[in-house]
Amino acid sequence: MKMRMKAPALRAFAATLVAGALLVGVAGTGARAEGLNSEGYLIPQRQNWSFAGVFGHYDRAQLQRGFKVFHDVCSNCHAASHLTFRELSEPGGPEFTPAQVKALAATYKIQDGPNDSGDMFKRPGKPSDTWPWTFPNDEAAKSALGAVPPDMSLLAKARTVQYGFPYFLAEGLPFFEDEEQGPDYIYALIKEGYTNPPKGFKVPTGLYYNSVIQGSNHLIRMPSPLAMIFDNNGKPNNPKFYTDGTPVTPDQVARDVSAFLMWAAEPKLEERKRMGFNVLVFLGVFASLLYFVKKKIWAGVHDIPPAA
């Protein structure tokens, strides 16, 4: 059966569509202006990262500070199972000296074995070891913390910003998507997420209110990591936390650790961007060469008379 709409019905239908789209647009813009998405979560704002864009590169000093935050705070709970000590001294990363990395690795006891008699044993870490985890397995972490903290090796790549309705319609578009959403999210989660719950919101024991974490009714099992470095007024417990003279503020610490986690998730970012740029230059040169070759080859072909 063919469905046909009479003209007035069609007009009404079209008008409803347009009105609906406008409403959604207005509501959406409003929500975004307030910084909340349609589900009431705080939308992480875009931050300025040194590693954004075609010429993006990591800020060595920032990665070194971010590593300190990871080392002193985050790695007490989170694993980073793909990160090797050696990478910390490789080009494109925090670039600690090999001697520093060797000394750092040696401060850890790594399980190795079996030895000749079949026993596992502990030995000091070596630069080629992967980052050891505080917990022997997921179950141990879960029983201590209530949830397994996600592995930090790829965390910055595993999280994005969710703008919610109606923006998800546009989220696939090139200008909406950007690679820095992972660090934007982590920065917002730890710096801005831990707010007071709205009146009447019951936070169960062992859980914390967070306005950024998605899809868990604003509840997270991680206590505020910044609260381990700062007091309630944002004053650092240890003003000399950073040894390079950078002021120790919640903003700085959140930014530095987010940058470090981006590097951990993509240690070869600088190489990739450099390569991408070189390929573009090559393609440009190659295209112009082809153009002149084509001109030369066809130069002798003139005025083919039309077939009689």
Contacts to ligand HEC by CB under 6 A: 69, 73-74, 76-78, 145, 147, 149-150, 155, 159, 186, 189-190, 213, 220-223, 225, 257
Nearest CA among 130, 157, 21 for reference residue 75: 130
Scanning the structure block, which residue is given the tokens 């939308």? 43
Smallest separation (angstroms) from ligand HEC to the CB of 59? 17
Shortest CB 75 distance to ligand HEC, Å? 8
Task: Tell me the residue type at 148.
Answer: V
Side chain identity, residue 152: M
Q: How far is the CB of 185 from ligand HEC (least distance, A)?
A: 7
In terms of CB distance, is 195 or 278 closer to ligand HEC? 195
Measured from the CB atom, is 31 or 74 closer to ligand HEC? 74
Comparison of 150 and 247: residue with beta carbon closer to ligand HEC: 150
* DSSP per residue, 238-280: -TTSSSS-----HHHHHHHHHHHHHHHH-TTHHHHHHHHHHHH
Q: Are 167 and 37 in contact (CB under 8 A)?
A: yes
Reduce the DSSP state of residue 123 to 3 states and report it.
Answer: strand
- Report the residue number, 190 or 265, with the smaller CB distance to ligand HEC: 190
For residue 74, the minimal CB distance to ligand HEC (Å) is 3
Q: How many Cβ atoms are within 10 Å of 131's Cβ, its own excluded?
A: 24
Q: Cβ 226 to ligand HEC, closest distance in Å?
A: 7
In this structure, are residues 82 and 112 in contact, taking their beta carbons and an 8 Å threshold?
Answer: no
User: Judged by CB, which is closer to ligand HEC: 105, or 213?
Assistant: 213
